[in-house]
Amino acid sequence: MIRGVHERPTIRQLEYLVALAETLNFRRAAELCFVSQPALSAQIQKLEQLLGVRLFERDPRRVLPTAVGIEVADRAREVLARCDDLLHGAQSFDDPLAGTVRLGVIPTVAPYVLPAVLPAIREARPDLKLLIREERTDDLLSGVDGGRLDVALLALEVDLSGFESLTLFEEAFVVAVPRGHELAGRDAITQEDLRGQSVLLLEDGHCLRRSALEICHARGAAELEGFRGSSLNTLVQMVAGGVGITLLPEMAVPVEVRDDAIVVRPFEPPVPVRHIGLAWRRGSPRAKGFRILGELVESRMRPFAD
């Protein structure tokens, strides 16, 4: 031990702390860490003794972090993220995309991009272990910032302060309407066509909701009151049932719209778009590797974007 330095928490103890703070359940936390529940509990107790604070309230029904436990868990996430940066920074001298990459993807991108790009990534980088997690934008950015994820694939129309980003392609929005709707006969949708229309939108937490609301407000449309969808598939089913119209990202159409009861129409210029790209922690030593990953995604999606 270095002179003058007190005993430090171990990396494993910090991992156990973060797992318990996120699951609030000793059994699930132990499963995440691949240890027995008694072993994890014992290390949490040792960590509390080392720090001289109580990190969790425990009773037979639940586990809750104390105020100091929340703060310590947040700092533990930062420490673990820096440890990962150290490891990956050393590995990047040989290969900037070596080892494991924990990739987060938003739900309005994952089903439409991943099936197209994963085979190409496996072929180009057979030694890369890609772990994928689908979450909403705020959760993805929190995960990247806290070290649970390395990089996120998302729509870039969000606040990315503290992150580096790489735009991969832009994607147009289209309008989906029931076949008997007054807009079904249009070749393309104009700003005036949407004025006064009620539009089905996703629930809070989806960045696509924010983009769609901006489009609606700019063109004089409004959200249909009393309904918010949990997925694009739900929105499409509601349109097929004649409940209303919706806005879809163009690449979702071949996957989601397979019902003759729905008509899809493009916008007249200027066409509203969203920008899809990667975001990672500013200063990450794996930035070069993420750019290589981005090139692989962009090259596979280029025919669609064009």
- Quick: pLDDT tens for 241-254: 999 999 999 999 99
**230: nearest Cα among 198, 256, 204:** 204
**117: containing domain:** 95-169+274-305
CB–CB of 96/289 below 8 Å? yes
Task: Tell me if 63 is assigned to some domain.
Answer: yes
Dig out the tokens for 187 from the structure.
């070749």
Instruction: Give residue-wise pLDDT tens across range 25-44.
Output: 999 999 989 899 999 999 99
Q: List for the chain the helix, strand, coil content (%; round to 5).
A: 45, 20, 35
Asked if residue 53 and residue 24 are part of one domain, the reply reads yes
Residue 303 — pLDDT band, cuts 50, 70, 90?
Answer: low
pLDDT value of residue 217? 86
Q: 2 lies in a domain? A: no
Question: Residue 97 in contact with residue 128, Cβ under 8 Å?
Answer: yes
Rg (CA), the chain: 23
Q: For residue range 51-99, what is the model confidence (pLDDT) as tens digits? A: 999 999 988 788 999 999 999 998 898 888 888 777 666 655 566 777 8
The CA-CA-CA angle for residues 252, 207, 195, to 5°, reads 75
Phi-psi group of 213: left, alpha or beta (phi > 0 → left; psi -120 to 50 → alpha; rest → beta): alpha
Question: Does residue 1 lie in a domain region?
Answer: no
End residue of a domain, out of 46, 61, 87: 87
Confidence at 4, pLDDT banded by 50, 70, 90: very low
Question: What's the pLDDT score for residue 80?
Answer: 85
Confidence category of residue 154, pLDDT binned at 50, 70, 90: very high
Stretch 134-147: mean pLDDT, rounded?
Answer: 90
The whole-number pLDDT of residue 205 equals 79
The last residue of a domain, from among 87, 112, 144: 87
Contact 256, 236 (CB under 8 A): yes
304 pLDDT more than 80: no
- Give yes or no for a contact between 50 and 7, defined as CB atoms under 8 angstroms apart: yes
pLDDT at residue 153 is higher than 70:
yes
Which of the 8 DSSP states describes residue 106?
-
CA distance 221 to 224: 9
**pLDDT for 116-132, tens place per residue?**
999 989 998 888 889 99
| Global confidence as pTM | 0.73
Q: What is the DSSP letter of 202?
A: B
Q: Which range, of 57-66, 145-154, 228-237, averages the lowest pLDDT?
A: 57-66
Examine the fold and report which residue of 87, 120, 138 is the final residue of a domain before the chain moves on: 87
> 165 with 287, same domain?
yes
**Lookup: tokens for 24:** 């609030």
Instruction: Report the pLDDT value the prediction gives residue 231, as an integer from 0 to 100.
Output: 92
Q: Clarify whether residues 207 and 175 are in a common domain.
A: yes
CATH number at residue 23: 1.10.10.10
295: domain CATH number? Answer: 3.40.190.10
pLDDT tens, position by position, 255-296: 999 888 999 999 999 999 999 999 999 988 889 899 999 999
State yes or no: pLDDT of 200 exceeds 90: yes
Q: Residues 163, 215: one domain?
A: no
DSSP state of 6: P
